[in-house]
Chain A
Amino acid sequence: MANEKHFDEWYRLDNAAKIFPAVSTRRETNTFRVQVSLKELVEPEILQLAVDAILERYPMFKVRLKAGFFWPYLDYNSSPFYIEPMNTSVCGPIIPKENNGYLFKIFYREKTIAIEIFHSLADGSGAFGLLKSIIYEYLHLKGYKVTPDNMILTKDSRPTREEYEDAHNAYYDAKNRKHVPEKKAFGIKGTPIPEGHIGLISGVMSTKAMLDLSRSNQATVTEYLSALMMYTIYVTQIQYREHLKANQKPVKIFVPVNLRKHFPSKTLRNFSNFVKTEMYMTKSDITFSEILELVKKQFKEGMTKSELIRKMSENVAFEKNVFLKIMPYFIKKFALRIGYKILGLSLNTISFTNIGKIEFPDSMMPFIEDATAAAYSGKFNTVNGAITSFQDKFKITFTRSIIETNIEREFFRHFTNQGIKVEIESNFVEEY
């Protein structure tokens, strides 16, 4: 048996991953999608070969989720993995039983390759790492001359322990872990899309125009867009609804922060935290510039190193709590569900991820068209956004579990009103 050595391999769930198996359901799937379009049609047979080769390099993903007495864990999966043609479900539930036990799916369609992945395995950065490796191997197998240039993990390199580490456990600070209580956030209501489908709308703009626009407002792109997001929610959901304004919960934007940029970790698993912007929108004449100033201030406070460490340590401390530790998992599951309901989802109005610039080696650039990321939307966070940029394509992707599209509409009209060209892509969920 060639793979005998893998049989010993199993992984604890990392600190952030531990919550997801307990709280994921058909509607709250906790999956996300990363997607890259090539300039030519994808050949499924070659893609399958590339995936098979790369999964050996990424043992962290070649796993199944198993029940332990205290915690679930990831155990080596000896079953084969099969890619599949893309279907209409975006970030739908990943049912391991129907997927040979795997916690991710790889789709192909026309020129596009997409990975949908359960959040327990990795975060956006890790998933893009896997996707880049697969595309590299795919192009390599097709006979193109591509080089990894140290930016891509190829099948010839060897996995290192560092890539599997639970970085939260490595960098937390036991002294800086104060819990700061939070208020519940305003939730965007709407008509659910039947059958639990998720609508997806992307807007593609010029990266240069985006950078110029945010710089002319003395803000970073993330700050500018988060502020715009808040403003859009205000205009579409709150401004003209007195009954909401009177007794209103704060609008909160949850912006994940990639901690690999703040700590020297190379992990492929979850290693991100968040910064939140928060505002009580009780007035009827809030302006965009007012929100932008507030967002800039809150970003500055939230992104300080000690604040990031505090948020990370708070979670680690929760996990290290002795009572929680020794509680059998079937009881712990309920504790986690209740905790997540109170302290998790309902504290955010919307989650807005900036994955950032997607980089490929120069030799691969001519083959790549663009890159997309999308997160699931569920019952409470009915609209979510994700940003990727590839060369001069700046792509903002909204997913929604409701039929209404007024947030997306107002958001993109903000740019077209300023003369920035926007190109829309959609999965046309409303035509179903």
Chain B
Amino acid sequence: MPATTKTNFQLVSNGILNENPIFRLALSMCPAVGISTTVMNGLMLGIAVLFVQVFSSCTIAAIKNYIHPRIRIPTYTLTIATWVTVIDLVLAAYVPAAYKEMGIFVKLIVAFAIITMRLETFACKNTVSASFWDGIGMGFGFMFGMVALGFVRELLGMGTLLGYDVLGFRPLLFFVLPAAGFFCVGIMMALFNYVEIVYNRKKRAR
């Protein structure tokens, strides 16, 4: 893939819509199924991924010319692990309130497919600034997916939103269980695809 010709805005919207990590690329499904039980969990993991993705993308874009092509995967892993550790330590030291909520999620990010994939397909071929905007787009796209899933699952499973009781009862406890994560992701994915088909059809008709 040659260097991107997209504008910064296109890069961001590409991450959120066209190449949404969860609904379009179907990457990082583990957290999408396992952690998106509440809006808060989704938001926290989304923020953590956003930071790691942006920092890792920029780092790899900056050093891309010095990486031996045969050992790029270990270098990516090392970069991600370093940033995850740094963010974990800094949060624990200076933002204890956020760390209390996010602590267990941050460490999980080391193994996220979406971050490695963006480094491999985008950051190692593009400039630092393009990688930065791509990272922002992917991070927000992931966050959007997690929050959307969390919204549905928390509302239907626990009758609450962000911990506040909105329904006053629990419609279907099933939705907070891991199995329901698969259903929610599937239905959302179908919805995403359907919207795209309708949109393209209208575009052609015009």
Q: Do these two chains interact?
A: no
Chain A residues packing against B (C-beta within 8 Å): none
What residues of chain B have their CB less than 8 Å away from a CB belonging to chain A?
none
